[in-house]
Amino acid sequence: MKIIVLMGGTSTERMVSISSGEQVCMACRKKGHRAVLLDVFFGTQQPAEDSFFAEEYDVAFHAEALRKKTEVLEKTKRERTQFFGDHVIELCKMADMVFLALHGENGEDGKVQAAFDLLGISYTGTDYLSSAICMDKGLSRILLTASHVPMAKGLCLKKEEKEKPFEKLSLSFPCIVKPCCGGSSVGVAIASNEEEYKIALQEAFSYEEEVIVEEYIKGREFSVALIHGKALPIIEIAPKQGFYDYKNKYQAGATIETCPANLSKEKTKEMQTYAELAYKVLRLHTYARIDFMMDLKENLYCLEANTLPGMTKTSLLPQEAKAIGMEYEDLCEKIIEISMEKCKK
């Protein structure tokens, strides 16, 4: 098949997206597909012709070239109003499947998916509506709580409410402050007192106009990946220092990841059941990842849903898939297969 691995973009997770895309493209090539990388924002100067899907293709070389383009990202954003880069739409129309390796804003928020739906372009993962809902942590909190998926006590704050005294939030320290629609823990901080809370708010609001403030859950962190709505073995995430922030997520060796997680059969079943319920409530499709915390009394709390989980060498989804004997290349092939079925309906 002719496959466009769409990555890059303009979000704070651009570099992670390129790493995901590079690995996916290599995997698709190993499966015999004519897969190529394409930056959704920068596009390509190469004409939209069948020759773009070359038989011989140096994935690592092209990925590195796209990383270098990040140096001119901000300048290009100021000079342009259009999001899609040159020939992106034409090439995606030519492909049999677009494998979305996008993360964060303008990729994981449903905007690209909505455009592709209108244009009849086939893509991997969930649709525009579910993507938008999951990207908005405030909205997804409301839906999950209403469906009896346990969540930590918390609320949304708009920028004009940033001066609201902490004591009026009906929360206690320590608390977590995070951008409402961010990803990869960018802008997330733990605040133990009023001073740290104000600093955390300022940082989170520098990314977005709305933030989430919720009580900090002390305990163990887990993630449950799902393929076609079925939960995979649970992975436990234990950072060697601090919490599971951007650095600990993507720096090799910074976090101890155990899969399957050391949990009782009962607790494993409970967490997987909640993950499958969240998948259904949020109308997810193809694959996703639901993150959880378990406190010292073994109470579970859902953190968030990820509609386009990372596919880097250190990402969680590939590790969970491997726990059931599914190698990385087979995982990518399965995602494409399920997505093809979805597009035929």
- Catalytic residue status for 196: no
- The residue annotated as part of the active site, out of 184, 223, 248, 339, is 184
The answer to whether 291 is a known catalytic residue is yes
In the residue annotation, 154 being an active-site residue is answered as no
User: Of residues 250, 274, 279, 328, which has the active-site annotation?
Assistant: 250
For residues 142-152, one letter each, b for 16 or more C-beta atoms within 10 angstroms of the residue's C-beta and e for the rest, the string is ebbeeeebebb
Of 8, 9, 11, 13, which one is the catalytic site residue? 13
CA within 13 Å, CB half, 197: 21
Query: Is cis: bond before 309, omega within 30 of 0?
Result: no
Q: Which two tokens stand for residue 237?
A: 């995430």
CA dist., res. 247 & res. 243, Å (int): 9
d(CA 333, CA 336): 5
| 222: helix, strand or coil | strand
Q: Which is nearest to 255 in space by CA: 189, 315, 318?
A: 315
Q: Contact 156/180 with Cβ under 8 angstroms?
A: yes
Catalytic residue among 289, 315, 328, 333: 289
Whether 64 is catalytic is no
Tell me whether residue 298 is one of the annotated catalytic residues: no
Catalytic residue among 304, 320, 333, 339: 304
Dump the DSSP string for 290-324: EEEEEETT--EEEEEEESS---STT-HHHHHHHTT
The active-site residue out of 310, 315, 333, 339 is 310
Antiparallel, parallel or unpaired: β 175-179 and 154-158: unpaired
The helix/strand/coil state of 215 is strand
User: Which residue in 122, 223, 306, 315 is the catalytic one?
Assistant: 306
Clarify whether 13 is annotated catalytic.
yes
Rounded to a whole number of angstroms, the CA Rg of the chain reads: 20
In angstroms, the CA 124 to CA 114 distance is 13
Catalytic residue among 291, 328, 333, 339: 291
Query: Active-site residue 141, yes or no?
Result: no
Among all residues, which ones are annotated catalytic? Answer: 13, 184, 250, 289, 291, 304, 306, 310
